[in-house]
């Protein structure tokens, strides 16, 4: 392999740490960009020297590289995970692993996709320094049990439900583990393995004459028929019913993750997650801005002028508020903590009453006379300030 770090550093695999360092220094001097101005090949070579030395010059990374190859060393995953993988691999090689997918033992034919697909897909990207989703998408191996897809379901809610939280029964179809083969994808009957024609031996890859245990049948020479129910995928559609708890405070676009409730993984792979995406309907009276709520609040002329105690409906129940005397239309009254709860557990939002002074629609002569009296109470022109 041209990208073998030992070859790049021109040392044997058994080289001591000192030999590796020496060879790196010698080659780095030779290919340094300062010594080879404008020489693209030398620049490239210099980069590769550095990459190779970064790994082989570090005993821990070198050990990983020796065991798992270039990608593992680059990812920098820790010893614990590597050990977990070792244990997992030996369990699989002896046929007892999850999913029962034949896996070639011996450590030669290890594909990183298997490792991430199984051990790390649930760990999330945090801390590991790489994006697991990207790796699964790019490197997922057809041989290993892949993780099932994440599914998304939309749930429509009223504003009251979104603020107070609710429970919602859902029924839908999802790819589930095949009941007939329990996700293994194999049927009852077995015959000679199609890859090795029953010999149990197969070449590892095109171009090499080295023959090892056949990866398809794990050297047994026998292979099972695919399950007639799922066609060998280990996955069939299943009707699913579950009740989703919607926490108080969700908005349109909030996502609730239900771990392991997504699609079943092919051939016994772990299931994906189910995301519930909430969609909150517009309320005819209440506007929402973040966690704050705004309610247009009608008051009479006398309530606005003289002040009043008024009953206010809120999503947390009715309460009494004081309209201050001399309130104008548009005045905002804050009801602290009566908005939407914070999804993140912080302080809840507030509710604002936006006062709307209502004029009576029909007016008797007496009321008209009262209005005339009122109009004399303005000290000047109410539109005096209106200058454009």
Interacting residues toward Zn ion by CB under 5 A: 178, 180-181, 193, 195-196, 214, 216-217, 227, 229-230
Residue 258 beta carbon to Zn ion: minimum distance, rounded to whole angstroms: 24
Shortest reach from residue 229's CB to Zn ion, in Å = 4
Rank residues 163 and 230 by Cβ distance to Zn ion and give the closer one.
230
- Strand, helix or coil at 18? helix
Cα separations (Å) of 381 from 369, 378, 384? 20, 7, 5
Rounded Cα–Cα distance for residues 242 and 324 (Å) = 50
Q: What is the DSSP code (8-state) at residue 237?
A: E
Burial class (CB in 10 A: 0-12, 13-18, 19+), 242: middle
Minimum gap (Å) between residue 235 Cβ and Zn ion: 8
Which helix (H) or strand (E) segment holds residue 303: the answer is helix 301-306
Instruction: Report in angstroms how near the CB of residue 144 gets to Zn ion at its nearest.
Output: 17
| Pair 286, 295: CB distance under 8 Å | yes
Q: How far is the CB of 200 from Zn ion (least distance, A)?
A: 6
Between 191 and 290, whose beta carbon lies closer to Zn ion? 191
CA 231 to chain CA mean position, Å: 30
Gyration radius of the chain over CA positions: 35
Q: What residues contact residue 365 under an 8 Å CB cut-off, 6+ apart?
A: none
For Zn ion, the closer of residues 227 and 286 by Cβ is 227
Taking the complex as a whole, the smallest distance from the CB of residue 232 to Zn ion amounts, in Å, to 7
Task: Give whichever of 197 and 255 is closer to Zn ion, judged by the CB atom.
Answer: 197
The angle that helices 40-56 and 17-31 make with each other, rounded to 10 degrees, is 160
The residue (of 229 and 252) whose beta carbon lies closer to Zn ion is 229
142 vs 359, which CB is nearer to Zn ion? 142
């Amino acid at each position: 392999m041209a990208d073998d770090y030992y070859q790049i550093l021109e040392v044997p695999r058994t080289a001591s740490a000192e030999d590796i360092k020496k060879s790196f220094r010698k080659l780095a001097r030779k290919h340094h960009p300062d010594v080879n101005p404008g020489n693209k090949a030398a620049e490239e070579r210099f980069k590769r020297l550095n990459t190779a030395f970064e790994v082989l010059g570090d005993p821990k990374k070198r050990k990983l590289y020796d065991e798992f190859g270039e990608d593992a060393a680059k990812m920098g995953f820790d010893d614990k995970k590597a050990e977990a993988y070792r244990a997992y691999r030996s369990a699989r090689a002896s046929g007892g692993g999850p999913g029962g997918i034949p896996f070639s033992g011996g450590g030669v034919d290890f594909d990183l996709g298997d490792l991430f697909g199984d051990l790390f897909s649930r760990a999330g990207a945090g801390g590991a320094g790489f994006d697991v989703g990207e790796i699964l998408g790019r490197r997922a191996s057809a041989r290993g049990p892949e993780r099932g897809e994440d599914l998304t379901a939309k749930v429509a809610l009223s504003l009251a439900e979104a603020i107070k939280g609710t429970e919602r029964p859902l029924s839908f179809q999802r790819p589930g583990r095949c009941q007939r083969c329990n996700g293994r994808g194999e049927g009852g009957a077995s015959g000679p393995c199609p890859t090795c024609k029953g010999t149990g031996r197969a070449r590892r890859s095109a171009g090499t004459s080295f023959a090892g245990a056949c990866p398809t049948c794990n050297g047994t020479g026998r292979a099972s028929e695919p399950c007639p129910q799922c066609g060998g995928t280990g996955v069939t559609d299943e009707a699913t019913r579950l009740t989703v708890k919607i926490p108080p405070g969700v908005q349109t676009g909030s996502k609730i993750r239900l771990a392991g409730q997504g699609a079943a993984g092919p051939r016994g792979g772990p299931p994906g997650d189910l995301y519930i995406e909430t969609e909150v309907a517009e309320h005819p009276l209440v506007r929402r801005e973040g966690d704050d709520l705004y309610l247009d609040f009608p008051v009479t002329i006398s309530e606005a002028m003289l002040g009043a105690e008024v009953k206010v409906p809120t999503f947390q129940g009715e309460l009494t508020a004081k309209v201050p005397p001399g309130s104008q239309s548009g005045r905002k009254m804050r009801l602290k903590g009566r908005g939407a709860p914070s999804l993140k557990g912080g302080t809840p939002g507030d509710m604002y009453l936006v006062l709307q002074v209502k004029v009576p629609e029909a007016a008797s002569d007496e009321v008209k006379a009262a209005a005339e009296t009122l109009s004399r109470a303005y000290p000047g022109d109410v539109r005096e300030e209106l200058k454009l």
